[in-house]
Structure 1
Amino acid sequence: MTDRRLVSHLLRRLTFGPTSAEVDAAARSGFEATLRALLRPAADPAPPDLGPDPAARLGRDSTREQRQAARREQAGQVAALTRWWLERMAAGGAAEKLTFFWHGHWATSARKVRSAPLMLAQQQTFRRYGSGDTGPLVRAMLRDPALILWLDGQRNSRKAPNENLAREVMELFTLGVGAYTEDDVKAAARVLTGWQVDRVAGTARLETRRHDARPVTLLGRTGTLDVDGYADLLVRHEAHLPFVTRRLWARYASADGLPPADVTARITAAGRDTTALLSALCRDPAFAATTGTLVKQPVEWLVGAVRQLGVPIGRLSAGEHRRLVSTLQALGQIPLRPPSVGGWPAGVAWLTTASTLTRLRAGQWLADLAPEVTDRLTGDDRLDVLADVLVVDGWTDRTVSALRAVTNPKRLLATALASPEYAIQ
């Protein structure tokens, strides 16, 4: 793999679709300098002003009309947050891609939480802690109001234990199946009893009268545990680092099976710091060999296309933004709305006949918004121009035949955006 292809591969994986100019700059800087720059800490973006949570003003005596009005206001806030986040993604950078990774990992949906401020607060937690040691991140997430509501943690009390949050924290977020027992789930649920969400303050607090403070035996330790003690047990468990490494590999390297044991061992040697883990993953010889194996998630596909075509997403009309979201809905992935606590699927699940047709239609619309690109697709070098603009290493003979049969520049661009070479990076 040439140096240019290597940095292209790196940029495709760590960001939301690199532009040709970004690849040029990275090729001049080299792989190591580019990797360090991508993983350098980024300043947190100024959050949008969403206003207070409408549900906070509702009481037991609220009328049906008041509740319906609050629901409409909530939906408007979620739409505003989605628009803001898509604009953040299109601004580029590895930090926002990592935020999106954690969103899919700690999958929480606004459909049930019904609070854009709480979903934004969870995003900010990912930005604040997601690039560092997993310990502070896990401690913060166990107190996260959106996650607590999503997994029924507010229903978990001393008299009526609810195991949802305790189970998913171990199975899906920190350890994986087989690293804990049903007794561990029951014990962890007791440790997490009593946490309640205050929608007015946007925080979670421990109500001692609902909390079970008796000693437990959990993950091999017996004693009295609080939330921080439970988090520490999780991140120090021998299964934690390999589990996180496999999840990073699936989203940043290849969804085609687990990384080989020796690759996992080399990456986990970097420790619990997520930036160090990503750095080790990208430097591993196995990473370069994963080119052409990772199917883009719909958000990656659409945001990447917007970036590479120079579509000014921040200046799109409200109707055009709704079309962005409706495209993502048709493709099966809308930010803030994962389908389940398990998050979104990966790999060939995104490659269906229906999704190809949706990408083709969306590509035709995007082509209308990118005249500077389509104006360049009229010469004999148009396939080379396409590959350069879309940062595709090359077209297969089959795709070349399909592209050469298209003479209209806008249709040519749309066809390229729907091609296997663009969908699989």
Structure 2
Amino acid sequence: MNNNTLWSLRLGFSGKQAKTIAQMGLSNFLEKSFNASYDKKAPSLLDKSPTSIKELRTRRQEIKKSDPDAVKEMLKVEFQVSQEMKAWWIQKMMADDFPLREKMTCFWHNHFVCTYQKVKVNHWIYQHNQILREHAFGNFKTLTKKIVQSNAMVRYLDNVDNRRDKINENLSRELLELFTLGIGHYTEDDIKNGAKGLAGLTIGENQAEYRRLLENNDSITYFGKTGNFKADAMIDIIFEQKAVPYLITRKLLQWFIYDTPSEALVTYYGDYFRKVDFELKPLLTKIFTEEFSKETAGSKIKDPLVYILQVMHELNVEQLNPRLVAFYLKQQGMDLFNQPNVKGWNGGKEWLSSQMYLQRNNAADLLCNGRNISRRAQMTDNDMMETTSNQLLNVSLNWTKSGTNKSIIAELQDRLLFQSNDDLQKDWEALLKYDFNPKAEGADNAVLRLFNNMIKTPEFQII
């Protein structure tokens, strides 16, 4: 079992960083990851979409005045931009030499859920995503304040409809239930009064802003404190509550290492998180360095993103359109920018239903045969995706072209991170027989068949 490969998968999306971790050590790798630069400029794909309030109002007027076909075309363009944004993000995940920031961005993306389907403004979705990226290793309280006052979040959780004469509790409830404390650590009065404090926080030019005519300026009692509290002050009060650190430490352990972390670990790291005043960099460093030394392999089912990017990396696939990867993720229930609900992807066993397992095996067959992971080459109104599924891919598996069938099997097992039992070993040796000649014509294809068989086993689905 190659521990560096295991942690390359956990801190990124494939085994790409295994050698780097081995060469520089985990601590140096983490420091490089924390300090790695990232693109702060909006991608050109957003040039097609309105960005300012003025442009959005102009677009709405155009929609009101246009005939149905023109409206459909405008909405189609916006939907296509949302699909391009998925591909843009996947490309970043695949290309980064130090992908931990993108891995954390994806973690926060599933914690502070905002979907394009509900928000419908690509620029706001991008802003939300960029806030997560910028503060991925920063302070949890600061990040919470930024997200609650983002245009995407006030639209997604209906705070645009929350005003002093008509209170909407959605954002107030999820701020407590899903973002910070968890069920059982607040009262219904806290939700109601919190909603009053958030009343009037609505769409602004670059972030959400309070509107004087819509906000509530009455005193509220929030977690035992009374005053005229607004978003920032409310979040400060929330972070004084005892339960705050444990929701996040549980979710971080689930995202990176354990589908079912022990309560002892959740509490241990949560206590430390409070001690460092909710700073994420020291918390992540502590979790990763301490868990790295333990035998933790096999404690988590791979999410679809890690599964497909690991297979692509092993096969050295470079020309696969990231739009097809996005489409595959959607089929697997991990649709970027479009989680099924505000709770996000549940993960764990839900990543490995019988249907998803079959889809993974189909993708393995297609890639190992040099074909795209979608068999369809068409554009539909729902997916708006031009595919090139008939295009052949160049795939090549790196392996040591010497030794015996058993040494080659052992090499692949080490890279693919599972130990075989006697039955599996017999299966592998039936595929790659004792007299296998690594120099013979067709040797590459024989090892590729073995690899394909290995990645379709239940054992490969876990890390």
| TM superposition score normalised by structure 2 | 0.82
Aligned with 1:386 (options 409, 412, 427): 412
CA separation of 1:422 and 1:370: change in aligned 2, threshold 3 A: farther
1:62 lines up with 2:62 in the alignment: no
1:32 lines up with 2:27 in the alignment: yes
- The answer for the alignment partner of 1:11 in structure 2 is 8
User: After superposition, where does 1:21-170 map in structure 2 within 5 Å?
Assistant: 22-44=17-39, 46-49=41-44, 50-51=46-47, 52-53=49-50, 56=57, 57-59=59-61, 61-63=64-66, 64-92=68-96, 93-170=99-176
Aligned with 1:276 (options 272, 276, 282): 282
Q: Is the 8 A contact 1:143 1:204 kept in 2?
A: yes
- Percent identity, aligned pairs only, is 24
- The answer for the alignment partner of 2:232 in structure 1 is 228
CA separation of 1:36 and 1:402: change in aligned 2, threshold 3 A: farther
User: Displacement of 1:298 after TM fit?
Assistant: 0.9
Q: Which moved more, 1:97-106 or 1:57-66?
A: 57-66
Instruction: State the alpha-carbon separation in 1 of the partners of residues 293 and 221 from structure 2.
Output: 40
Q: Is the 8 A contact 1:13 1:253 kept in 2?
A: yes
- The answer for the alignment partner of 1:414 in structure 2 is 452
CA separation of 1:221 and 1:331: change in aligned 2, threshold 3 A: same
Instruction: State the alpha-carbon separation in 2 of the partners of residues 266 and 175 from structure 1.
Output: 14
- Report which of the two structures shows the higher radius of gyration computed on alpha carbons: 2
- The answer for the alignment partner of 1:256 in structure 2 is 260
1:338 lines up with 2:339 in the alignment: yes
CA separation of 1:321 and 1:215: change in aligned 2, threshold 3 A: same
The one-letter code sitting in structure 2 at the alignment partner of 1:264 is: Y
Instruction: State the alpha-carbon separation in 2 of the partners of residues 157 and 353 from structure 1.
Output: 46
1:329 lines up with 2:330 in the alignment: yes
Aligned with 2:185 (options 159, 179, 183): 179
User: Displacement of 1:120 after TM fit?
Assistant: 1.0
Q: Is the 8 A contact 2:6 2:15 kept in 1?
A: no
Q: Is the 8 A contact 1:158 1:211 kept in 2?
A: yes
Instruction: State the alpha-carbon separation in 1 of the partners of residues 214 and 23 from structure 2.
Output: 60
Q: Is the 8 A contact 1:219 1:233 kept in 2?
A: yes
Instruction: State the alpha-carbon separation in 1 of the partners of residues 220 and 9 from structure 2.
Output: 46
Instruction: State the alpha-carbon separation in 2 of the partners of residues 12 and 371 from structure 1.
Output: 21
Which runs of no fewer than 5 residues in structure 2 stay unpaired?
371-392, 433-445
CA separation of 1:115 and 1:287: change in aligned 2, threshold 3 A: farther
User: Displacement of 1:340 after TM fit?
Assistant: 0.6
SS at match of 1:217: strand
User: Displacement of 1:377 after TM fit?
Assistant: 8.6
User: Displacement of 1:249 after TM fit?
Assistant: 1.1
**Over aligned residue pairs, what C-alpha RMSD do you find?**
2.6
Q: Is the 8 A contact 1:364 1:413 kept in 2?
A: no
The one-letter code sitting in structure 2 at the alignment partner of 1:330 is: Q
User: Displacement of 1:55 after TM fit?
Assistant: 5.4
Instruction: State the alpha-carbon separation in 1 of the partners of residues 400 and 365 from structure 2.
Output: 16
- The answer for the alignment partner of 1:208 in structure 2 is 212
Instruction: State the alpha-carbon separation in 2 of the partners of residues 398 and 155 from structure 1.
Output: 61
Q: Is the 8 A contact 2:245 2:270 kept in 1?
A: no
The one-letter code sitting in structure 2 at the alignment partner of 1:12 is: L
Q: Is the 8 A contact 1:195 1:206 kept in 2?
A: yes
Instruction: State the alpha-carbon separation in 2 of the partners of residues 152 and 7 from structure 1.
Output: 44
Q: Is the 8 A contact 2:6 2:417 kept in 1?
A: no
Instruction: State the alpha-carbon separation in 2 of the partners of residues 23 and 159 from structure 1.
Output: 57
Q: Is the 8 A contact 1:188 1:218 kept in 2?
A: yes
Instruction: State the alpha-carbon separation in 1 of the partners of residues 33 and 359 from structure 2.
Output: 31
The one-letter code sitting in structure 2 at the alignment partner of 1:414 is: N
SS at match of 1:332: coil
CA separation of 1:24 and 1:104: change in aligned 2, threshold 3 A: same
SS at match of 1:222: strand
The one-letter code sitting in structure 2 at the alignment partner of 1:17 is: S
Q: How many residue pairs get matched? A: 412
Q: Is the 8 A contact 1:9 1:288 kept in 2?
A: no
Which runs of no fewer than 5 residues in structure 1 stay unpaired?
none
Instruction: State the alpha-carbon separation in 1 of the partners of residues 311 and 34 from structure 2.
Output: 22
Instruction: State the alpha-carbon separation in 1 of the partners of residues 117 and 430 from structure 2.
Output: 44
Q: Which moved more, 1:143-152 or 1:41-50?
A: 41-50
